[in-house]
Structure 1
Amino acid sequence: MQAAKGDTSNPRFAYDRGVLEITMPSPEHELANYALARIFETIAEELDIDYTNLGATTFDREDLEKALEPDACFYVEQADLMRDKQRLAPLTDPPPELVIEVDVSSSSLNKLPIYASLGVREIWRWRQSGVAIMRLEDAGYHEQNASTVLPGVTTEQLTSLLQASRRMKRKDWRQEVRAVAQTLKN
Protein backbone atom coordinates (compact mmCIF):
# COMPACT_ATOMS: atom_id res chain seq x y z
CA MET A 1 0.00 0.00 0.00
CA GLN A 2 2.76 2.45 0.92
CA ALA A 3 4.51 1.77 -2.40
CA ALA A 4 1.28 2.51 -4.26
CA LYS A 5 0.59 5.58 -2.14
CA GLY A 6 4.10 7.01 -2.35
CA ASP A 7 5.26 9.99 -0.32
CA THR A 8 2.03 11.95 -0.42
CA SER A 9 -0.49 13.49 1.92
CA ASN A 10 -3.92 12.15 2.72
CA PRO A 11 -6.27 11.03 -0.04
CA ARG A 12 -8.87 13.47 -1.38
CA PHE A 13 -12.45 12.50 -2.04
CA ALA A 14 -15.11 13.76 -4.43
CA TYR A 15 -18.63 12.36 -4.71
CA ASP A 16 -21.34 13.13 -7.23
CA ARG A 17 -24.63 11.20 -7.22
CA GLY A 18 -23.22 7.71 -6.76
CA VAL A 19 -19.75 8.22 -8.24
CA LEU A 20 -16.87 8.32 -5.73
CA GLU A 21 -13.40 9.45 -6.77
CA ILE A 22 -10.39 8.99 -4.50
CA THR A 23 -7.14 10.70 -5.44
CA MET A 24 -3.72 10.58 -3.84
CA PRO A 25 -1.94 13.93 -4.16
CA SER A 26 1.58 13.69 -5.61
CA PRO A 27 4.51 15.92 -4.66
CA GLU A 28 3.90 17.88 -7.90
CA HIS A 29 0.29 18.43 -6.81
CA GLU A 30 1.19 19.46 -3.28
CA LEU A 31 3.92 21.88 -4.40
CA ALA A 32 1.50 23.67 -6.74
CA ASN A 33 -1.23 23.71 -4.09
CA TYR A 34 1.16 25.08 -1.47
CA ALA A 35 2.42 27.79 -3.83
CA LEU A 36 -1.06 28.96 -4.88
CA ALA A 37 -2.28 29.04 -1.27
CA ARG A 38 0.81 31.04 -0.19
CA ILE A 39 0.32 33.42 -3.13
CA PHE A 40 -3.26 34.06 -2.01
CA GLU A 41 -2.31 34.50 1.66
CA THR A 42 0.68 36.76 0.98
CA ILE A 43 -1.16 39.05 -1.43
CA ALA A 44 -4.23 39.19 0.82
CA GLU A 45 -2.08 40.17 3.79
CA GLU A 46 -0.16 42.79 1.78
CA LEU A 47 -3.48 44.27 0.60
CA ASP A 48 -4.89 44.12 4.15
CA ILE A 49 -7.63 41.69 3.11
CA ASP A 50 -8.77 39.46 5.95
CA TYR A 51 -9.42 35.78 5.23
CA THR A 52 -10.00 32.40 6.81
CA ASN A 53 -8.24 29.38 5.31
CA LEU A 54 -10.19 26.13 5.75
CA GLY A 55 -7.72 24.11 3.69
CA ALA A 56 -9.08 20.82 2.35
CA THR A 57 -12.23 20.84 4.48
CA THR A 58 -14.89 18.37 3.35
CA PHE A 59 -17.99 20.00 1.89
CA ASP A 60 -20.78 17.44 2.02
CA ARG A 61 -24.27 18.18 0.73
CA GLU A 62 -26.29 15.02 1.29
CA ASP A 63 -29.42 16.75 -0.05
CA LEU A 64 -27.64 17.21 -3.40
CA GLU A 65 -25.77 13.88 -3.22
CA LYS A 66 -22.52 15.78 -3.71
CA ALA A 67 -19.37 16.13 -1.64
CA LEU A 68 -15.75 17.05 -2.17
CA GLU A 69 -12.55 18.23 -0.60
CA PRO A 70 -10.86 21.14 -2.38
CA ASP A 71 -7.10 21.40 -2.40
CA ALA A 72 -7.50 24.66 -0.46
CA CYS A 73 -10.36 27.05 0.22
CA PHE A 74 -10.65 30.57 1.54
CA TYR A 75 -13.36 32.76 3.01
CA VAL A 76 -12.93 36.51 2.55
CA GLU A 77 -16.31 38.24 2.89
CA GLN A 78 -17.37 35.60 5.42
CA ALA A 79 -13.96 35.34 7.15
CA ASP A 80 -15.28 36.46 10.55
CA LEU A 81 -18.21 34.04 10.44
CA MET A 82 -16.03 31.07 9.50
CA ARG A 83 -12.92 31.84 11.59
CA ASP A 84 -13.83 29.70 14.59
CA LYS A 85 -15.96 27.03 12.86
CA GLN A 86 -15.41 23.61 14.35
CA ARG A 87 -18.01 21.91 12.12
CA LEU A 88 -19.74 23.01 8.95
CA ALA A 89 -23.52 23.18 8.69
CA PRO A 90 -23.87 22.48 4.96
CA LEU A 91 -27.37 23.91 4.60
CA THR A 92 -26.69 27.18 6.44
CA ASP A 93 -22.97 27.96 6.26
CA PRO A 94 -21.84 29.83 3.15
CA PRO A 95 -19.53 28.25 0.59
CA PRO A 96 -15.95 29.51 0.39
CA GLU A 97 -15.41 32.49 -1.90
CA LEU A 98 -12.26 30.92 -3.37
CA VAL A 99 -11.21 27.34 -4.01
CA ILE A 100 -7.84 26.18 -5.30
CA GLU A 101 -7.91 23.10 -7.54
CA VAL A 102 -4.70 21.51 -8.79
CA ASP A 103 -5.19 19.10 -11.69
CA VAL A 104 -2.07 17.02 -12.25
CA SER A 105 -3.80 14.03 -13.82
CA SER A 106 -7.05 13.75 -15.69
CA SER A 107 -9.92 13.22 -13.31
CA SER A 108 -12.77 10.88 -14.06
CA LEU A 109 -15.10 13.18 -12.12
CA ASN A 110 -15.74 16.75 -13.24
CA LYS A 111 -15.64 18.75 -10.01
CA LEU A 112 -16.78 22.07 -11.50
CA PRO A 113 -20.51 21.18 -11.42
CA ILE A 114 -20.10 20.12 -7.79
CA TYR A 115 -18.49 23.46 -6.90
CA ALA A 116 -21.22 25.28 -8.84
CA SER A 117 -23.97 23.45 -6.94
CA LEU A 118 -22.28 24.49 -3.68
CA GLY A 119 -22.09 28.12 -4.86
CA VAL A 120 -18.30 28.57 -4.81
CA ARG A 121 -17.74 31.98 -6.42
CA GLU A 122 -14.21 31.61 -7.79
CA ILE A 123 -11.78 28.80 -8.55
CA TRP A 124 -8.06 29.06 -9.22
CA ARG A 125 -7.42 25.95 -11.28
CA TRP A 126 -3.89 24.86 -12.09
CA ARG A 127 -3.06 22.57 -14.98
CA GLN A 128 0.20 22.03 -16.83
CA SER A 129 -0.69 24.94 -19.13
CA GLY A 130 -0.97 27.40 -16.24
CA VAL A 131 -3.47 28.87 -13.80
CA ALA A 132 -7.02 29.67 -14.86
CA ILE A 133 -9.27 31.96 -12.82
CA MET A 134 -12.81 30.68 -13.12
CA ARG A 135 -15.84 32.66 -11.97
CA LEU A 136 -19.29 31.24 -11.26
CA GLU A 137 -21.88 32.78 -13.60
CA ASP A 138 -25.28 31.37 -14.51
CA ALA A 139 -24.68 28.02 -12.73
CA GLY A 140 -21.40 27.41 -14.59
CA TYR A 141 -17.78 28.54 -14.52
CA HIS A 142 -16.27 30.91 -17.05
CA GLU A 143 -12.60 31.82 -17.34
CA GLN A 144 -11.68 35.36 -16.38
CA ASN A 145 -8.43 37.29 -16.77
CA ALA A 146 -8.46 38.61 -13.20
CA SER A 147 -9.68 37.61 -9.76
CA THR A 148 -12.58 39.31 -8.03
CA VAL A 149 -11.68 37.76 -4.68
CA LEU A 150 -8.21 39.37 -4.84
CA PRO A 151 -8.91 42.34 -7.11
CA GLY A 152 -6.26 42.96 -9.72
CA VAL A 153 -4.56 39.55 -9.53
CA THR A 154 -4.34 38.11 -13.04
CA THR A 155 -3.92 34.63 -14.48
CA GLU A 156 -0.55 35.72 -15.88
CA GLN A 157 0.68 36.79 -12.44
CA LEU A 158 -0.51 33.58 -10.80
CA THR A 159 1.08 31.40 -13.47
CA SER A 160 4.35 33.36 -13.36
CA LEU A 161 4.54 33.24 -9.55
CA LEU A 162 3.73 29.54 -9.48
CA GLN A 163 6.48 28.81 -12.03
CA ALA A 164 8.91 31.00 -10.05
CA SER A 165 8.16 28.98 -6.90
CA ARG A 166 9.81 25.99 -8.57
CA ARG A 167 13.13 27.65 -9.28
CA MET A 168 13.61 30.29 -6.57
CA LYS A 169 14.67 29.99 -2.95
CA ARG A 170 11.61 30.27 -0.72
CA LYS A 171 12.61 33.61 0.84
CA ASP A 172 13.34 35.17 -2.56
CA TRP A 173 10.10 33.81 -3.97
CA ARG A 174 8.03 35.27 -1.12
CA GLN A 175 9.67 38.64 -1.75
CA GLU A 176 8.64 38.31 -5.40
CA VAL A 177 5.03 37.62 -4.35
CA ARG A 178 5.12 40.66 -2.06
CA ALA A 179 6.49 42.78 -4.91
CA VAL A 180 3.53 41.76 -7.09
CA ALA A 181 1.18 42.64 -4.22
CA GLN A 182 2.80 46.08 -3.94
CA THR A 183 2.01 46.77 -7.61
CA LEU A 184 -1.64 46.04 -6.85
CA LYS A 185 -1.74 48.67 -4.10
CA ASN A 186 -1.05 51.49 -6.55
Structure 2
Amino acid sequence: MTVATTPAEQRVVLRNVSWEAYERLLRDHAEASSPRLFYDRGTLEIMSPSAKHEQLKDAVTMLVAVVAEEFGLNHRSFGSTTFRREDLARGFEPDACFYFANEPRVRGKEEIDLAIDPPPDLVIEIDITRSSIDKMATFAVLEVPEVWRYDGERAQFFSLHGREYVEIAESATLSGLTSKAVEGFLAESERMERLVWLRMLREWARSRRP
Protein backbone atom coordinates (compact mmCIF):
# COMPACT_ATOMS: atom_id res chain seq x y z
CA MET A 1 0.00 0.00 0.00
CA THR A 2 1.21 3.51 -0.86
CA VAL A 3 -0.12 6.63 0.84
CA ALA A 4 0.49 10.18 -0.38
CA THR A 5 -0.89 13.07 1.67
CA THR A 6 -0.89 16.80 0.92
CA PRO A 7 -3.13 19.72 1.96
CA ALA A 8 -4.86 19.30 -1.40
CA GLU A 9 -5.43 15.58 -1.71
CA GLN A 10 -4.92 12.29 0.06
CA ARG A 11 -4.31 9.20 -2.05
CA VAL A 12 -4.16 5.58 -1.01
CA VAL A 13 -3.05 2.99 -3.57
CA LEU A 14 -3.85 -0.70 -3.07
CA ARG A 15 -2.46 -3.55 -5.18
CA ASN A 16 -3.97 -6.91 -6.09
CA VAL A 17 -7.54 -5.76 -5.57
CA SER A 18 -10.11 -8.00 -7.24
CA TRP A 19 -12.87 -6.65 -9.44
CA GLU A 20 -15.38 -8.00 -6.91
CA ALA A 21 -13.74 -6.02 -4.09
CA TYR A 22 -13.79 -2.90 -6.27
CA GLU A 23 -17.50 -3.40 -6.98
CA ARG A 24 -18.20 -3.80 -3.24
CA LEU A 25 -16.46 -0.52 -2.51
CA LEU A 26 -18.49 1.19 -5.20
CA ARG A 27 -21.71 -0.11 -3.66
CA ASP A 28 -20.61 0.94 -0.17
CA HIS A 29 -19.94 4.49 -1.38
CA ALA A 30 -22.73 4.72 -3.95
CA GLU A 31 -24.34 7.79 -2.37
CA ALA A 32 -21.13 9.51 -1.24
CA SER A 33 -19.34 12.28 -3.13
CA SER A 34 -15.99 11.01 -1.83
CA PRO A 35 -13.68 9.21 -1.85
CA ARG A 36 -13.08 8.88 -5.59
CA LEU A 37 -12.07 5.45 -6.85
CA PHE A 38 -9.87 4.67 -9.84
CA TYR A 39 -9.31 1.04 -10.82
CA ASP A 40 -6.75 -0.32 -13.27
CA ARG A 41 -6.41 -4.10 -13.58
CA GLY A 42 -6.01 -4.86 -9.90
CA THR A 43 -4.60 -1.51 -8.76
CA LEU A 44 -7.02 0.69 -6.85
CA GLU A 45 -6.45 4.34 -6.01
CA ILE A 46 -8.67 5.90 -3.34
CA MET A 47 -8.52 9.68 -3.40
CA SER A 48 -10.08 11.98 -0.80
CA PRO A 49 -10.28 15.56 -2.13
CA SER A 50 -9.73 18.67 -0.04
CA ALA A 51 -11.67 21.92 -0.04
CA LYS A 52 -9.23 23.45 -2.55
CA HIS A 53 -9.59 20.50 -4.87
CA GLU A 54 -13.38 20.71 -4.77
CA GLN A 55 -13.42 24.47 -5.31
CA LEU A 56 -11.27 24.08 -8.42
CA LYS A 57 -13.50 21.27 -9.63
CA ASP A 58 -16.60 23.44 -9.20
CA ALA A 59 -14.93 26.38 -10.94
CA VAL A 60 -13.92 24.36 -14.01
CA THR A 61 -17.40 22.77 -14.14
CA MET A 62 -18.99 26.24 -14.18
CA LEU A 63 -16.43 27.40 -16.73
CA VAL A 64 -17.34 24.62 -19.15
CA ALA A 65 -21.07 25.14 -18.64
CA VAL A 66 -20.90 28.90 -19.22
CA VAL A 67 -18.62 28.69 -22.27
CA ALA A 68 -20.70 25.89 -23.80
CA GLU A 69 -23.89 27.89 -23.30
CA GLU A 70 -22.45 31.03 -24.84
CA PHE A 71 -20.98 29.03 -27.73
CA GLY A 72 -24.40 27.50 -28.34
CA LEU A 73 -23.28 23.93 -27.61
CA ASN A 74 -25.77 21.50 -26.12
CA HIS A 75 -24.17 19.52 -23.31
CA ARG A 76 -24.88 17.50 -20.20
CA SER A 77 -22.73 17.20 -17.08
CA PHE A 78 -22.32 13.78 -15.47
CA GLY A 79 -20.12 15.04 -12.63
CA SER A 80 -18.17 12.28 -10.87
CA THR A 81 -20.26 9.41 -12.23
CA THR A 82 -18.64 5.97 -12.01
CA PHE A 83 -17.59 4.64 -15.42
CA ARG A 84 -16.33 1.06 -15.64
CA ARG A 85 -15.93 -1.97 -17.85
CA GLU A 86 -15.43 -5.34 -16.25
CA ASP A 87 -14.11 -6.92 -19.47
CA LEU A 88 -11.28 -4.34 -19.50
CA ALA A 89 -10.85 -4.40 -15.69
CA ARG A 90 -10.84 -0.62 -15.54
CA GLY A 91 -13.00 1.99 -13.90
CA PHE A 92 -12.84 5.65 -12.95
CA GLU A 93 -14.71 8.50 -11.30
CA PRO A 94 -13.63 11.80 -12.86
CA ASP A 95 -13.63 15.12 -11.10
CA ALA A 96 -15.98 16.33 -13.82
CA CYS A 97 -17.16 15.10 -17.19
CA PHE A 98 -19.46 16.21 -19.98
CA TYR A 99 -21.30 14.82 -22.96
CA PHE A 100 -21.49 17.03 -26.04
CA ALA A 101 -21.74 15.19 -29.36
CA ASN A 102 -23.00 12.07 -27.60
CA GLU A 103 -25.44 13.86 -25.32
CA PRO A 104 -28.53 12.55 -27.17
CA ARG A 105 -27.37 8.97 -26.58
CA VAL A 106 -27.25 9.34 -22.79
CA ARG A 107 -30.10 11.79 -22.24
CA GLY A 108 -32.44 10.48 -19.57
CA LYS A 109 -30.15 7.64 -18.52
CA GLU A 110 -29.72 7.09 -14.78
CA GLU A 111 -26.68 4.83 -15.19
CA ILE A 112 -24.02 4.56 -17.87
CA ASP A 113 -22.89 1.16 -19.12
CA LEU A 114 -19.71 1.59 -21.15
CA ALA A 115 -20.30 -1.79 -22.78
CA ILE A 116 -23.12 -0.16 -24.75
CA ASP A 117 -22.99 3.58 -23.98
CA PRO A 118 -20.33 6.04 -25.15
CA PRO A 119 -17.80 7.48 -22.70
CA PRO A 120 -17.96 11.20 -21.87
CA ASP A 121 -16.80 13.50 -24.64
CA LEU A 122 -14.77 15.49 -22.11
CA VAL A 123 -13.20 14.33 -18.84
CA ILE A 124 -11.58 16.77 -16.41
CA GLU A 125 -9.06 15.79 -13.76
CA ILE A 126 -7.83 18.08 -10.96
CA ASP A 127 -4.49 16.55 -9.93
CA ILE A 128 -2.79 18.76 -7.36
CA THR A 129 -0.63 15.76 -6.51
CA ARG A 130 0.45 13.35 -9.20
CA SER A 131 -1.28 10.00 -9.21
CA SER A 132 0.85 6.85 -9.29
CA ILE A 133 -1.68 5.30 -11.70
CA ASP A 134 -1.44 6.03 -15.43
CA LYS A 135 -4.92 7.48 -15.74
CA MET A 136 -4.41 8.57 -19.32
CA ALA A 137 -3.89 4.96 -20.38
CA THR A 138 -7.25 4.02 -18.85
CA PHE A 139 -8.99 6.96 -20.52
CA ALA A 140 -7.47 5.90 -23.84
CA VAL A 141 -8.58 2.28 -23.49
CA LEU A 142 -12.10 3.49 -22.66
CA GLU A 143 -11.90 5.85 -25.67
CA VAL A 144 -12.50 9.19 -23.95
CA PRO A 145 -12.08 11.73 -26.81
CA GLU A 146 -10.72 14.65 -24.76
CA VAL A 147 -9.12 15.02 -21.33
CA TRP A 148 -8.21 18.17 -19.41
CA ARG A 149 -5.73 18.07 -16.54
CA TYR A 150 -5.09 20.88 -14.06
CA ASP A 151 -2.45 20.74 -11.33
CA GLY A 152 -3.32 23.99 -9.59
CA GLU A 153 -1.17 26.09 -11.91
CA ARG A 154 -0.98 24.51 -15.34
CA ALA A 155 -3.83 23.32 -17.55
CA GLN A 156 -3.24 20.76 -20.27
CA PHE A 157 -5.64 19.58 -22.96
CA PHE A 158 -5.29 16.17 -24.61
CA SER A 159 -7.08 14.77 -27.66
CA LEU A 160 -7.27 11.04 -28.40
CA HIS A 161 -5.64 10.05 -31.69
CA GLY A 162 -5.82 6.35 -32.27
CA ARG A 163 -4.76 4.78 -28.99
CA GLU A 164 -2.72 7.70 -27.66
CA TYR A 165 -3.31 11.23 -26.46
CA VAL A 166 -1.76 14.24 -28.14
CA GLU A 167 -1.51 17.52 -26.24
CA ILE A 168 -3.44 20.33 -27.90
CA ALA A 169 -3.41 24.06 -27.18
CA GLU A 170 -7.11 24.56 -27.99
CA SER A 171 -10.02 22.37 -26.98
CA ALA A 172 -11.48 20.22 -29.73
CA THR A 173 -14.79 20.15 -27.86
CA LEU A 174 -14.98 23.88 -27.09
CA SER A 175 -13.26 25.30 -30.14
CA GLY A 176 -11.80 28.71 -29.31
CA LEU A 177 -11.03 27.92 -25.67
CA THR A 178 -7.33 27.42 -24.99
CA SER A 179 -5.53 25.79 -22.09
CA LYS A 180 -3.84 29.12 -21.34
CA ALA A 181 -7.22 30.82 -21.05
CA VAL A 182 -8.42 28.12 -18.66
CA GLU A 183 -5.29 28.58 -16.53
CA GLY A 184 -6.06 32.28 -16.22
CA PHE A 185 -9.73 31.79 -15.44
CA LEU A 186 -9.07 29.17 -12.76
CA ALA A 187 -6.40 31.32 -11.11
CA GLU A 188 -8.80 34.26 -11.08
CA SER A 189 -11.60 32.09 -9.68
CA GLU A 190 -9.61 31.74 -6.45
CA ARG A 191 -9.16 35.52 -6.06
CA MET A 192 -12.37 37.06 -7.33
CA GLU A 193 -15.92 37.18 -6.03
CA ARG A 194 -17.82 34.39 -7.75
CA LEU A 195 -20.47 36.59 -9.36
CA VAL A 196 -17.84 38.98 -10.70
CA TRP A 197 -15.84 36.04 -12.03
CA LEU A 198 -18.87 34.52 -13.75
CA ARG A 199 -19.77 37.84 -15.40
CA MET A 200 -16.20 38.20 -16.65
CA LEU A 201 -16.22 34.64 -17.98
CA ARG A 202 -19.56 35.10 -19.73
CA GLU A 203 -18.44 38.35 -21.36
CA TRP A 204 -15.27 36.66 -22.60
CA ALA A 205 -17.25 33.76 -24.06
CA ARG A 206 -19.73 36.05 -25.78
CA SER A 207 -16.91 38.00 -27.38
CA ARG A 208 -15.53 34.79 -28.87
CA ARG A 209 -18.77 33.09 -29.78
CA PRO A 210 -18.28 31.08 -33.00
> 1:65-117 deviations in whole A, cap 9, x for unaligned?
10010111100011122121112122110011000100011212111001011
More RCO (CA 8 Å, sep 6+) = 1
Equivalent of residue 118 in structure 1, options 126, 142, 149 = 142
Look up the match of 2:65.
41
> 1:31-84 deviations in whole A, cap 9, x for unaligned?
111111110000011111110111101111100010010111100011122121
In the superposition, the TM-score normalised over structure 1's length comes to: 0.93
Structure 2, unmatched stretches of 5+, are 10-32
Look up the match of 2:209.
185
Native 8 Å contact 1:146 1:155 kept in 2: yes
After superposing on structure 2, the runs of 4+ consecutive aligned residues of structure 1 that deviate more than 4 Å are none
Give 1:1-186 correspondences, 5 Å limit. Answer: 9-185=33-209
Alpha-carbon distance in 1 for matches of 2:124, 2:85: 19
CA drift of 1:131 comes to 0.8
Q: How many pairs align?
A: 182
Alpha-carbon distance in 2 for matches of 1:85, 1:107: 30
CA RMSD, 1 decimal: 1.8
Native 8 Å contact 1:28 1:104 kept in 2: no
Name the SS for the 1:56 alignment partner: coil
Alpha-carbon distance in 1 for matches of 2:150, 2:46: 19
Identical-residue share of aligned pairs (%):
38
CA drift of 1:29 comes to 1.0
Alpha-carbon distance in 1 for matches of 2:165, 2:114: 21
